[in-house]
Amino acid sequence: MGGPQRELTQWIEDNAGSGKVTSFSGGGGSGWASSSIVDTESGNRFFVKTSKRPSEAMFTGEAEGLRAMHATDTVTVPNVYHYGDLQEGDGSFIIMEHLEMRGSYSQAELGKQLAMMHLAEPLAEEAKAGKFGFPVKNTIGGTPQPNEWSGNYVQFFREKRLGHQLRLARDGTLSSLGKQLMDNLDSYFEGIEVKPCILHGDLWSGNIGGTSGGKPAIFDPACYYGHNEAEFGMSWCAGFGRDFYDAYFSVIPKEKGFEERKQIYLLYHYLNHYNLFGGGYYNSCLSILQDLTGQAYGGSSGGKFFDF
């Protein structure tokens, strides 16, 4: 048994009240972390993820995000038991509840429960006081996501979301169009009140599943306290159907300007995908920016960079 596996096994046996660990099997992974399923003699199972990155850069944000969503007692979210940096070797870990996934779930139930999560009282005192952000930094995929608190939502989204991604993109055309959009960003939120709510932040089909009881579950978050509509920024690959939207909007009705703001939230995630993977995501970013600003560019990546 290797160092990290021995260390994690020891913690589970000493603290989880489930007896001896009987197996520690691989469960897959991503480009940023690997996962394992841990069985114990009591029959309890745990889901463990490890990474070569330190906890502050990898699992602290995930753990605190899961805890913030779990505290709403709405949609099923795995409970976090422990996380931190490994003592034996480099890297970090998170130990959480294992959810037995069966694949199918009710879209209507997911829509209703997600809306209830968005209406729940925030866990963080700052969010209760009307601020936007999160107590710790986290990542959106492999991209660092700054979350410093702000009392102004438009300012937060301009600086910590769109501006951050545009700085990372280092593209003159996107930068120029992005500045035009962000100079006019307040106009998209006129006449509505934005209240801080806990967001999963990266809600696509790969982060949604059905538990053994057929209930929807969400995991692998990039949480922050923001505008509920921002949750639909990954809808282009989430598989949401009419039952989902009907259920969600029966709890939280659409507000004026929803469709235009949705494009802004889509843009954030397309920018992130461009920064992570490049390729065709550039054209998606360009198309949205052109639609929102009414500007037509020839596709050149030249031009001035702006320090948003």
Catalytic residue among 14, 183, 202, 291: 202
Is residue 202 part of the annotated active site? The answer reads yes
For 201, the token pair is 């932040």
φ, ψ of residue 151 in degrees (nearest 5) = -85, -5
N- to C-terminal Cα distance for the chain? Answer: 49
Q: Which residues pair with 224 in a beta bridge?
A: 199
Annotated catalytic residues are 202
